[in-house]
Structure 1
Amino acid sequence: MLNTGFHYTIVGAGCAGLQLAMALAEKTQATNKKIALIDKRRPSKNDKTWSFWEAGAGKWDSILSSSYSYAFFKAPNTELKLKLNPYTYKSLKAADFYTYSFEKLKAYAHVIFIEEEVVRIQENRKEAIVTTALGSYRCSHVFDSRIPAAFYNQNRYLKIQQHFKGIRVKTKNPVFNTQAFTMMDYRFSYPDSTSFMYVLPYSPNEALIEFTFFSPFTVKESVYDQYNKNYLKNYLNTTDFEILETETGNIPMSNYPFHKHHTNRITKIGTGGGWVKPSSGYSFKNTEKKVKQIIKNIEEDRLTSYGLYSKKYNFYDTIFLKVLQDNNHLGPWLFTKFYSKNSVPTMFRFLDEESRFKEEFKIMRSLFSWAFIKAFFQTRF
């Protein structure tokens, strides 16, 4: 079957695909340009938790599972309680995002969800053709969230993995401090690695507890389980708890040039487009910003990929990744300096790629070390 009726095709109904689908649906509502959203299955499971920071009210506030005005950062000999003002740290559950997104898309008759697996995308001067196991779909432009195969088949670029296992637990006794979430707790760390506890309290008796690595290697699942349970037992002094849900993941943090896979008729998006911030692993808010840029590009009749890549911040990210690649045990020291020597607005603007040079210089100076200098010159030259 060959369908020729679409103007845009979005491959992948995850975070990036759904955010883009909603934005494009609203943008094209009056133009009758049909949009296809293709994935091998409709997502619905609560398989992850997305978190982000922003100043003031935001478009996702109605589906948040939690929000925080303070954050803890903890490491051996360091304990910080960070006031996030003017920012708020917000979290939402994947299942709520999926439900919200598909309900929004139901209002647009020109958006069609196709439950098929994409096997190939081709293009020529006039069109792009998306081929699935059941048929082919012609369109003017494709937004493709799949990670390029070339990413896995190369060793030239840095590849740190953000891998984790989280458990949403309910305890018999109230043990969680709901005044703040824990960004990183390096008192619980796997030997010679950048690994930490991440905690989102929902109530005094319920929280998401997640043991996370930023490392070039992976570990057995039993390691995550051990550290999650040790945190409950040795820090929160509780062994009486129920595991309500689990979530696992492995997210690439890389300086790989995903942007070089853009073409005139294919724009890479999401993880496959390099939308995961390499130095932090955050993607949800970054995706919202990239989607806005794509819509602006369409409005101004520019290439849809224009402005999606920053050479300057890729350079900063590469230095950071190089340190973690060569000296993964220095991660706790690196993040302790980052959080203790800089203000919250400066750090968040830097991670949001909205900082000024003066702020960037201050951050670089706070991370001054031989490992950082070495990474700088290896990256620069």
Structure 2
Amino acid sequence: MQSHHYDYIIVGSGLAGLQLGLALSKDVFFKNKKIALIDKSSKSSNDKTWCFWEKGKGQWENIIHKSWKEGFFISDKENINLNLSPYTYKMIRSIDFYENAKTQLANHPSISFIEDSITAVEEDAGKVMVVGKKKTYTSSHVFDSRISPEYFENKNESVSIHQHFKGWMIETEDEFFNPETFTMMDYRLQYKNSTSFTYVLPITKKKAFVEFTFFTPFTVEENVYDLYLERYVKEILKLQQYKITATEIGIIPMTNFSFQQYNYKRITKIGTAGGWVKPSSGYAFKHTEKKASLLIENLKNNLPITTNFHSKKYHFLDTIFLKVLHNENSKGKWIFEQLYLKNSTPSIFKFLDEETSVLEDFKIVKSLYSKAFIKALFQ
């Protein structure tokens, strides 16, 4: 079978693959390197929505679909106004990100897009063999976004919570929504004894994305999301007349699984497969941007590629949080009530961005002090 050689191959042109491809393309250090992005699909549909917070303007401003500076946390006991300043909460549609990234990369003379389904990635005699259904490719180094099968086979060796959800984009004839503020979590409607809530992103006065989300050790049938979305729209929002113009469904692993153990000398896992998703929140967009930038610097400085990628401190704190949700899933509402009631939103964002000092960590952890956290700590 004919071999096609590249300096770097990125397997998967989703969020991590495209962010890494963009980072490589913008650095003159790699201007003469041949780079291939291989994916089984052309990424030509709007298959997900990403949200994140950041200070000021970032590198994605031209594709921000909507942004907010204020939000709410709501439960049957609390209605907390979230002042985000100096952060802004931003929303990007995947199709806008895909098209923007592909347009930028298409103009780079050393970057190739290949549509193929990869079946194996293996190190062999100082190079890496990337086996696709159409062709076989070789590379000096491969960045692989496929999740290692060991994650699914050895789940008992880690603590895992599923963040799973379904969302409706709904439109109304009359002006109903306030597009200047969003709802981070609304716990007034929950599924049984679980951590489940509704997330509302108003786009215009007549349009909003409404999502029912679970942080649970289990998953549910799709009709469960539909039932709770319908109940929320009719019982909480008091909307009787509306139309659903788009839907989104997904699942994100929130886990302390050691993805990094499946990195090798010439094969580096990226994205979810590399542990780039924040375990305690499921947020990935800005974490991916940071990891891609750090990966580039490590390459340029001839360091092991994942140097400084994983913080033992935050891994420890994330593990405690996951254990509490796993052992006492119904406690989620109380946890997030305390978190938003006793801490400023900027301090929470800073903590989830893994940028806090030990003193700032202590203040966050202290606000969540309970028997469940003590038990998880000793476990």
Q: State the TM-score bracket (shorter-chain normalisation).
A: over 0.9
Aligned equivalents of 2:30, 2:376: Cα separation in 1: 51
Tell me whether 1:208 sits opposite 2:209 in the alignment: yes
TM-fit CA distance, 1:259: 0.9
Pairs within 5 Å for 1:134-213: 134-154=134-154, 155-213=156-214
Aligned-partner SS, 1:7: strand
Greater mean deviation of Cα atoms: 331-340 or 231-240: 231-240
Listed one character per residue, the Cα deviations across residues 312-357 of structure 1 (whole Å, up to 9, x for unaligned) are: 1111000000001010000000011111111122111110011000
Aligned equivalents of 1:31, 1:174: Cα separation in 2: 51
TM-fit CA distance, 1:125: 5.0
TM-fit CA distance, 1:191: 1.1
Aligned equivalents of 2:190, 2:175: Cα separation in 1: 25
TM-fit CA distance, 1:4: 4.3
State whether residues 25 and 31 of structure 2, in contact with CA within 8 Å, keep that contact through their aligned partners in structure 1.
no
Report how many aligned residue pairs link the two structures.
378
Aligned-partner SS, 1:305: coil
2:55 alignment partner in structure 1: 55
State whether residues 161 and 217 of structure 1, in contact with CA within 8 Å, keep that contact through their aligned partners in structure 2.
yes
State whether residues 175 and 236 of structure 1, in contact with CA within 8 Å, keep that contact through their aligned partners in structure 2.
no
Question: Which AA in structure 2 matches 1:269?
Answer: I
1:25 alignment partner in structure 2: 25
1:282 alignment partner in structure 2: 283
1:247 alignment partner in structure 2: 248
Aligned equivalents of 1:358, 1:76: Cα separation in 2: 31
State whether residues 64 and 91 of structure 1, in contact with CA within 8 Å, keep that contact through their aligned partners in structure 2.
yes
Aligned-partner SS, 1:302: coil
Question: Which AA in structure 2 matches 1:89?
Answer: Y
Tell me whether 1:361 sits opposite 2:368 in the alignment: no
Aligned equivalents of 2:229, 2:73: Cα separation in 1: 17
2:101 alignment partner in structure 1: 101
TM-fit CA distance, 1:242: 1.0
State whether residues 162 and 252 of structure 1, in contact with CA within 8 Å, keep that contact through their aligned partners in structure 2.
yes
Aligned equivalents of 1:327, 1:57: Cα separation in 2: 39
1:375 alignment partner in structure 2: 376
1:86 alignment partner in structure 2: 86
- Relative to structure 1, the CA distance from residue 4 to residue 47 in structure 2 (aligned partners, 3 Å threshold; closer, same or farther) is closer
Listed one character per residue, the Cα deviations across residues 153-189 of structure 1 (whole Å, up to 9, x for unaligned) are: 0111011000000010101222212221110001111
1:342 alignment partner in structure 2: 343
State whether residues 29 and 300 of structure 2, in contact with CA within 8 Å, keep that contact through their aligned partners in structure 1.
no
Aligned equivalents of 1:5, 1:33: Cα separation in 2: 11
1:111 alignment partner in structure 2: 111
Aligned equivalents of 1:69, 1:38: Cα separation in 2: 37
Q: Runs of 5+ in structure 2 lacking a partner?
A: none
TM-fit CA distance, 1:20: 0.4
**Runs of 4 or more consecutive aligned structure 1 residues displaced over 3 Å after TM superposition:** 28-31
Aligned equivalents of 1:363, 1:144: Cα separation in 2: 35
Aligned equivalents of 2:248, 2:30: Cα separation in 1: 40
Pairs within 5 Å for 1:291-306: 291-306=292-307
Pairs within 5 Å for 1:303-322: 303-322=304-323
TM-fit CA distance, 1:292: 0.6
1:35 alignment partner in structure 2: 35
Listed one character per residue, the Cα deviations across residues 3-22 of structure 1 (whole Å, up to 9, x for unaligned) are: 34300000011100010011
State whether residues 294 and 305 of structure 1, in contact with CA within 8 Å, keep that contact through their aligned partners in structure 2.
yes
Aligned equivalents of 2:281, 2:31: Cα separation in 1: 38
Aligned equivalents of 2:103, 2:356: Cα separation in 1: 36
Aligned-partner SS, 1:6: strand
TM-fit CA distance, 1:2: 3.4
TM-fit CA distance, 1:277: 0.5
Aligned-partner SS, 1:140: strand
Aligned equivalents of 2:326, 2:363: Cα separation in 1: 23
Aligned-partner SS, 2:50: strand
TM-score, length-scaled by structure 1: 0.97
1:326 alignment partner in structure 2: 327
TM-score, length-scaled by structure 2: 0.98
Aligned equivalents of 1:28, 1:8: Cα separation in 2: 15
Question: Which AA in structure 2 matches 1:152?
Answer: F
Tell me whether 1:222 sits opposite 2:223 in the alignment: yes
State whether residues 8 and 141 of structure 2, in contact with CA within 8 Å, keep that contact through their aligned partners in structure 1.
yes
